[in-house]
Amino acid sequence: MLAERLPGLLPDLGDTEAMEVTAIHSLCELPSSSLQLVRRPPFENPHHTATSAAIIGGGSGLPRPGAASRAHRGILFLDEAPEYERRVLDALRQPLESGELVIHRSAGTAAYPARFQLVLAANPCPCGKASGKGIECTCTPTMRRRYLGRLSGPLLDRVDIQLQVERVSLANFGQSGGEENTATVAGRVRAARRRQLKRLRHLGMETNAQVPGRVLRGELRLDPATTRILDHSLERGVLTARGYDRVLRLGWTLADLGGRDRPDINDIGQALSLRQAASAAA
């Protein structure tokens, strides 16, 4: 449910983005591209039994776009992520870094844009009852490790936010009041996007996700006091170099959402905790 709400938080696609998305959907002969430009970010939710060709792209003859490319400029949601084939999940590592999928087949090679937000959801164990106290869980520790081990370390290293969602307590079940609606959060996202565009336009970029590490540690370098906790995590081997840059990007995004010009130590600390929350809980 949360993943399906994400497209509603994203702003409409610009002219260039809309043309990219519409062109991909036209290749797939989707109804959304038959009459006009696709202005809303797409949402793709393939089943865990989907083949590599269905998600990554392929088929006979010249390879066609898969769900990853159809989700370009939008959301790719993989529910029950450990149930997908390991090679399919690991194939997503390329577009998560480059924003492009290159598919080689005997009839030729095709390159399709695939700059999407990846959302993975997984149960805590095969039986799904290990959350909370986990007293009803029937899985052995080996079964749990094998199940979650289907999500490789290199793939998870490319996931910026990793959270364990606890069960809703009886006291909170069915209660409402005080929550922000989609329109309110979407307005804050639009404001954050405007701040990013203003800061990055001279670099030819629009969002924090596009900023390479050399810029994060160069022109946008934060003072040592702000990144001290991050530097310590890198020295202890808790973070990889890729993870370091991703925490910095997330810290900038948190600052943009909060209306601040630069991340402070709290933004960096929160970004680091969001990345490590799931592993700490495990």
pLDDT reported for residue 175: 67
pLDDT reading at 245 higher than 50: yes
Counting residues of the chain whose pLDDT is more than 90, the rounded percentage is: 67
Instruction: Give residue limits of the domains in the chain.
Output: 2-122, 184-281
State how far the alpha carbon of 273 is from the alpha carbons of 94, 159, 244, in Å: 25, 13, 12
pLDDT reported for residue 174: 66
pLDDT reading at 282 higher than 60: no
Residue count of the chain, please give it. 282
State how far the alpha carbon of 254 is from the alpha carbons of 249, 258, 260, in Å: 9, 6, 9
Taking residues 148-157, report their average pLDDT: 92
Q: Quickly state the pLDDT bin for 32 (edges 50, 70, 90).
A: low
Taking residues 113-140, report their average pLDDT: 88
Reported as half-sphere exposure (CB side, CA atoms, 13 A), residue 108 has a value of: 6
Measured between alpha carbons, how far is 105 from 275 in angstroms, rounded to an integer?
36
Comparing CA positions, the residue from 146, 100, 119 lying closest to residue 45 is 119
Return the CATH superfamily for domain 2-122: P-loop containing nucleotide triphosphate hydrolases (3.40.50.300)
pLDDT per position as a tens digit, 38-61: 999 999 999 999 999 899 998 777
pLDDT reported for residue 61: 73
Taking residues 8-32, report their average pLDDT: 88
Binning the chain into helix, strand and coil, the percentages to the nearest 5 are 45, 10, 45
Q: Quickly state the pLDDT bin for 281 (edges 50, 70, 90).
A: very low
pLDDT reading at 276 higher than 80: no
Q: Quickly state the pLDDT bin for 19 (edges 50, 70, 90).
A: very high
pLDDT per position as a tens digit, 6-16: 999 999 999 99
Looking at residue 87, its amino acid is: R
pLDDT per position as a tens digit, 93-120: 999 999 999 988 877 788 999 999 999 9
Measured between alpha carbons, how far is 17 from 228 in angstroms, rounded to an integer?
37
pLDDT per position as a tens digit, 158-184: 999 998 887 777 777 666 666 788 899
